[in-house]
A and B are shown apart, each in its own frame.
Chain A
Amino acid sequence: MANLVCDIVTPAEQQFSEECYMVAVPGVDGHMGFMPGHAPLMSTLADGEVRVFSDANTLAHRFACQGGYVQVTGEKVIVLTDRALAAEEIDAAEVAAKISELQAAFDGAAEDSVERATLEYDLKWYRTLEAVAAG
């Protein structure tokens, strides 16, 4: 059976490219799974977890992703995301420390300032990492 190629690309680099059986992504309107031969689709993504299955029962890779898009053709899934990190590379302790640090900075930042928006964005990312690390 023809396989699906899954690419995960961030602005800084191509993070992942491998053949797989199924890919599940967090769409803005709920999770979606793609298998080979899927109809062409394009969607915006929510923050969350991209799961790559090497066969029906094996979850081969998990990635935490922040925002972005997915484009599906029959044999290829391209995930374009702002940031991505493989689940096994997440350091839970470090993430927890970062969250409390950012939260403190965020609470201290002035309303409507540029820093506040940046901090919120970072905070969301670490929250996503935390959720993905927790499984």
Chain B
Amino acid sequence: MPNLHDLERRINSVKSTMQITRTMEMVAAAKIRKASERVDATTPYSNSMTEMLVNVAENAGSSDNALLVEHDEEKSVLYIAVVSDRGLAGGFNSNVLRHVEKAVYAARSEGVTAHVVACGKKAISYFEFRKIDLDLVFRDLSADPTLDEALQIATRAIEGYTAGEYDKVVLVYNHAKNAAEQQLRIETVLPIDANMFAEAPEAAEEGAEQQLSGDVIYEPDAEAVLDSLLPAYVKTTIYHALVDSAAAEQAARRSAMKSATDNANDMIETLTRFYNRVRQGAITTEINEIVGGAAALEE
């Protein structure tokens, strides 16, 4: 039977852990608001961007822009893994990392070279430990993604794709579906899927009123506008993913910390009950001994 002192110590330790998890839960809850505000702020730009691209793509006809052209063979794939700098967010990091790792091994077994860009310290340590080389790393930015970061990734991806270094660029991140749920998203950034533009108008119904009709003047011309829109579109997609992932991270941490706090509460309850039983047991034993001793004396 464990002694009372040990039990007491365990209860205290669980209590202090609970204090930490509860605080983290509250901090994450506060950060969710900020992060989702940022997602909302980036939405007008990416919506307008997509809308413009749809309009231009229709008018530019068949473009042979390097970013739209699919490479004949898939020999080299670039994965962009967007995770967080910190742990304690439940399955947030491992979902993305495991997916990318699997994809990398699958690609290798088919003789395809896989390159990885890691955003977030967790990705860096995970891949370094598994001896997967990283093309580009970003740290200390997961909670506060910047445009510069998105720009660097996009530049690298576009240059690599145009030069034939990569045949496909895939973005893997967590989408903040709502405050409690994250969704793993795997998006092919390059080549840009031209079919997507054909479907987009129906998806963006609210933007329908702004749909340009009739002849549109392009300055300098439709192809030139398209050529400059495409890289910007890639950049926007990546930036949006980073911001989205930052919001998902806070949401994931909040729910992870909430269940940790709940578990700690349950544990304290169980331990306290056990503690009381042990204490009562000790008292009973003591009384038994006294009564037994007195009875022995009387005889």
Contacts and interface: CB of A to CB of B under 8 A. Distances in A.
Given A42-B225, A69-B52, A12 B147 contact: yes
B45 A11 contact: yes
A40 B214 contact: yes
A-B CB proximity, top 10 nearest: A43-B219, A13-B41, A41-B217, A40-B216, A40-B212, A14-B44, A9-B45, A11-B45, A44-B228, A9-B44
Q: Is the interface of B mostly helix, strand, loop or mixed?
A: helix
A11 to B, nearest CB: 5
Given A71-B52, A117-B155, A118-B148, A44 B236 contact: no
**Residue of A10, A39, A73, A80 most packed against chain B (CB within 10 A):** A80
A121 B147 CA distance: 13
Given A12-B147, A80-B52, A40 B45 contact: no
A42 B56 contact: yes
B239 interface: yes
Interface in B50-109: 51-52, 55-56
B217 A40 contact: yes
Contact of B218 (A12, A42, A78): A42
Contacts, number: 89
Contact of B236 (A11, A39, A40): A11
A27 B220 CA distance: 9
A93 interface: no
A32 interface: yes
Contacts of B38: 12
A10 B45 contact: yes
B152 A114 contact: yes
Interface of B: 38, 41-42, 44-46, 48-49, 51-52, 55-56, 147-148, 150-152, 155, 210, 212-220, 224-225, 228-229, 232, 235-236, 239
A40 B213 contact: yes
Interface in A12-51: 12-14, 27-29, 32, 39-44
23 contacts: A9-B45, A11-B46, A11-B236, A12-B45, A13-B41, A14-B44, A14-B45, A28-B219, A28-B220, A39-B216, A40-B212, A40-B213, A42-B216, A44-B220, A69-B228, A71-B51, A71-B55, A73-B212, A76-B210, A78-B48, A80-B45, A80-B52, A82-B147
Interface residues of A, number: 29
Contacts of A44: 219-220, 224-225, 228
Contacts of A78: 48
A118 B235 CA distance: 14
A44 B56 CA distance: 12
Interface string A104-128: 0000000000100110010000000
Given A14-B44, A42-B55, A43-B225, A80 B219 contact: no
Contacts of A118: 148, 151-152
A40 B215 contact: yes
A25 to B, nearest CB: 10
Contact of B219 (A9, A12, A27, A117): A27
A11 B147 contact: yes
A73 B49 CA distance: 15
Contacts of B225: 42-44, 69
A55 B216 CA distance: 26
Nearest to B224: A44
